[in-house]
Amino acid sequence: MKALHFKANRIHAEFFDAVRQIPSLELDVVDEWESLSDEQLAGLIRQYDVLLLSRQPRVPDAIADDPGRLKYISYLHGGVSKAVGLPIIRSSIQVTNWGDRVAGEQALNSITLLLATVRDLHARIAGVRRGEKPGFRSVGEHVAELNIGVYGFGAVAREFVRLLEPFGATIRVYDPYAADIPVHCTRVDSLKALFETSRAIVIHAGLTPETKGSVTRELLALLPDHGIVINTARGAIVDQEALFDELRNGRLRAGLDVLWPDNLPGDHEARQWENLIWTCHRIKGSAWPDEGLAGILRPYRNSLENLEAFVKGQPLKWIIDEKRYESMT
């Protein structure tokens, strides 16, 4: 079988070394593809069984109707929509992404921001930098009294509540599409009920027309004073102007990896708000240097396992069907 990759700087060379170790799979890497037309790209892709795709180039939709040899696109990141169109998802070509590769890390980032926000680490760090000895008590003694409301209950949220379980918090979940909820969590049937009963809201919803702007000013007003909003999902889920009003006046606290739009001007006032920890959609970790090759390859494990399965004719994991595609961001 033949695999194709259009060279991208984001992917570690060690991944391709590992791909080349897979028996009966031959890999071609195309260095110069920026100047290729859509027709030329399609012509090239049709000669391969597998496409290992980074964020670029976008796969021509024409491949959907005339795939040639192509049976499988392994997208090496998460949200596939920038590189693969719906016609291809609807075609016979299988498309997978990195699967649960980041769920564990995102859940870790979410719990990190939650704990750091409860303990007001921004205010403490800023005070220390100014030469003070911040002596205040943060509101929130134990996580057990936190009453956490989790909005959206996909893979990241499941991992988040698994990590949180021994902390003893009362965890409520709102997600009308979640089939099952762990026994240590309680399901509520509206966002209003979630906000009414929570001191901290943790957002793990996907961005869809239904969730966009769904964390409204009215909902935020239901949180108690010193209440907390954690968002490592998508900024556009929140009415950001309303949240910023609540942060500016000091009533709420927030730990946000994401904003909408997903940046702030260098002189934006929110950067100085000590009740906000903003991690710039970059709260990521990497392997430890002393882990060597195992550390570098860990993030590619799902992709490598899928490639091996494909070569052996076994079923693939993390296939993007139309429903998953449309809830992706």
The answer to whether residue 10 forms part of the interface with a second copy (CB under 8 A) is: no
The answer to whether residue 288 forms part of the interface with a second copy (CB under 8 A) is: yes
The answer to whether residue 165 forms part of the interface with a second copy (CB under 8 A) is: yes
The answer to whether residue 298 forms part of the interface with a second copy (CB under 8 A) is: yes
CB of 229 to a second copy, least distance (A): 16
In DSSP notation, 187-241 reads: E-SSHHHHHHT-SEEEE-----TTTTT-B-HHHHHHSPTT-EEEESS-GGGB-HH
- CB environment 247-278: b (16+ within 10 A), e (fewer): beeebbbbbbbbbbeeeeeeeeebeebbbbbb
Residue closer to a second copy (CB basis): 27 or 297: 297
Report in angstroms the alpha-carbon separations of 286 from 74, 90, 102, 156.
22, 34, 12, 18
Query: Which of these ranges, 150-158, 275-283, 302-310, 317-325, lies near a second copy under the rule CB under 8 A?
Result: 275-283
Measured distance CA(127)–CA(50) in Å, rounded: 54
Spatial neighbors of 267 by CB under 8 A, at least 6 apart, are: none
The answer to whether residue 171 forms part of the interface with a second copy (CB under 8 A) is: no
Q: Site for a second copy (CB under 8 A): which residue of 36, 115, 193, 328?
A: 115
CB of 23 to a second copy, least distance (A): 29
* Amino acid letter, 324: R
CB of 232 to a second copy, least distance (A): 11
CB of 236 to a second copy, least distance (A): 18
* Tokens describing residue 182: 């762990």
Q: How many CA atoms lie within 13 A of 325 on its CB side?
A: 19
Q: Site for a second copy (CB under 8 A): which residue of 261, 289, 313, 315?
A: 289
Measured distance CA(18)–CA(325) in Å, rounded: 28
Q: Site for a second copy (CB under 8 A): which residue of 1, 22, 44, 116?
A: 116
Let me know how long the chain is. Answer: 329
Report in angstroms the alpha-carbon separations of 273 from 27, 174, 266, 267, 278.
50, 29, 13, 12, 10
Quick check: 34 and 42 in contact, CB under 8 A? no
Cβ neighbours around 309 below 10 Å, total: 15
Each residue 119-158 as x (binds a second copy by CB under 8 A) or -, in order, gives x-xx-xxx-xx-xxxxxxxxxxxxxxx-------------
The answer to whether residue 299 forms part of the interface with a second copy (CB under 8 A) is: yes
CB of 92 to a second copy, least distance (A): 35
Residue closer to a second copy (CB basis): 95 or 164: 164
| Rg from Cα positions in the chain | 22
Q: Site for a second copy (CB under 8 A): which residue of 46, 226, 251, 301?
A: 226
Count of residues in contact with a second copy, rule CB under 8 A: 63
Q: Site for a second copy (CB under 8 A): which residue of 16, 33, 167, 260?
A: 167
Measured distance CA(159)–CA(167) in Å, rounded: 14
Residue closer to a second copy (CB basis): 13 or 31: 13
Q: Which of residues 35-94 bind a second copy (CB under 8 A)?
A: none
Q: Which residues bind a second copy (CB under 8 A)?
A: 104-105, 108-109, 111-112, 115-116, 118-119, 121-122, 124-126, 128-129, 131-145, 162-163, 165-167, 199, 224-226, 263, 266-267, 271-272, 277-280, 282-291, 295, 298-299
